[in-house]
Amino acid sequence: MQISHNSTFPTFLLTGVPGLEWAHAWISIPFCCLYLTALSGNTLILFIVLTEPSLHEPMYYFLSMLSTTDIGLCISTLVTVLGIFWLSALEISFNACLSQMFFIHLFTFMESSVLLAMAFDRFVAISNPLRYATILTLHARITQIGLAVITRGTVILTPLVLLLKRLSFCRSHVLRHSYCFHPDVMKLSCSDTKINSAFGLTAIISTVGVDSIFILLSYVLIIRSVLNIASPEEREKAFSTCISHITAVAIFYNPLISLSFVHRFGKHSPPYVPTLIANIYLLVPPVMNPIIYSVKTKQIQKAVLKLVCSKGTHINNYWPIKTYFKVSEI
């Protein structure tokens, strides 16, 4: 396959599963199932939160933001990942690669910010329930938090992408993943990438790093508040409202940290290791978040059952009419 060696506008080659190119058609089946599960699950959560009046509370607004970022993360990689497995479409242009990279990192930073906002929400609800309504219930305040999440990610990522455009690419143009990832693209340059590396590290620390520290601090304060509650039943009830969020934090940060470590320190790791971690980082949080919140949150369960039951009632209402027409035809 011919690859463009234009140093200004190179064409990159994406990678599927190294060594298993012959099985890409079969590998695409679980990937399709994961994408369908993630997109349908998060769309359902988003629809339920927006249409069910009883869920118009800060906690569920933040959950809808989390679902939106997960949908965006899935859509950002869907075309290239399935294009590789179905069509062996490995080539991606430089500008398309930068665009995909921007949105992947943007939705990653946004998800980290939303998880921090959810931690703050839980802290206020548990430690100061009487002021919870005045602090977070205002729609304007939730909107401001959402805009701040988008703005922070965009402001940090824009110079990161622009710095890549000044680089020359004269080495191998084969990327290690089925999508464009900043450290992966940067390593293919034959220019000096010290500024890019420093800025990339700063971007990660100032977003995901800072968010994780504040999430940890929030839970230290939450645990302190829970321990001050006299009743054991009330303690258990208060802490149970955090289980879903703690699980979502764990399945988001663990693959992300692992992928960062592999890129920075795993130069001699087998080729399938970064591929496996990269796909876990991409698909596991969007797949698991709707499941976690549906299983652990009674209000979400009730809303889903209400939606299903209303659909069933709607269909049953038309059953006599359908029966009449069948009898008439006979």
What residue type is assigned to position 17 of the chain? V
- Do the Cβ atoms of 121 and 244 come closer than 8 Å? no
* Crossing angle of helices 94-127 and 243-265, rounded to 10°: 140
Per-residue pLDDT of the chain (330 residues; tens, 9 = 90+): 444 444 556 889 998 888 777 888 898 899 999 999 999 999 999 999 988 888 888 888 899 999 999 999 999 999 999 999 898 888 999 999 999 999 999 999 999 999 999 999 888 888 877 777 676 666 778 888 899 999 999 999 999 999 998 888 876 788 888 899 888 888 888 888 889 889 988 998 999 999 999 999 999 999 888 888 767 888 888 888 888 899 999 999 988 888 777 766 666 677 677 777 888 888 999 999 999 988 888 888 888 888 778 765 554 554 444 443 343 343
Neighbours of 312 (CB within 10 A): 10
Question: How high is the pLDDT of residue 8?
Answer: 57
Give the CA count within 13 Å in the CB-facing half-sphere of 149.
25
Closest to 43 measured CA to CA, from 287, 298, 295: 287
The candidate with the shortest Cα–Cα distance to 51, out of 290, 300, 249, 313, is: 300
pLDDT at 264: 67
pLDDT at residue 113 in the model? 94
Q: Residue 282 and residue 76: Cα distance in Å, rounded? A: 10
CATH superfamily of 11-296: Rhodopsin 7-helix transmembrane proteins (1.20.1070.10)
Phi, psi (degrees; rounded to nearest 5) at 128: -145, 65
Instruction: Show the tokens assigned to 81.
Output: 């990942």
Residue 35: per-residue pLDDT: 95
Say if residue 316 is exposed, middle or buried (CB neighbours under 10 Å; 0-12, 13-18, 19+).
exposed
Task: Please give the structure tokens belonging to residue 127.
Answer: 């430690």
Closest by Cα among 69, 76, 70 to 96: 76
3-state class percentages of the chain: helix first, strand second, coil last, to nearest 5: 80, 0, 20
**Residues composing the chain:** 330
Q: Pairing between strand 11-13 and 91-93?
A: antiparallel
Supply the DSSP symbol for 71.
H
Distance CA 108, CA 120 (A): 19
Instruction: Give the separation between CA 115 and CA 102, rounded to whole angstroms.
Output: 20
Under 8 Å between Cβ of 189 and 90: no
Does an H or E element contain 167, and which?
none
**Integer Cα distance of 313 and 320 in angstroms:** 13
Tokens 């602090």 locate to 135
What distance lies between CA 315 and its chain's CA centroid?
Answer: 35
Handedness of CA 212, 218, 223, 226 (dihedral sign): negative
Give, for 170, the enclosing helix (H) or strand (E): none
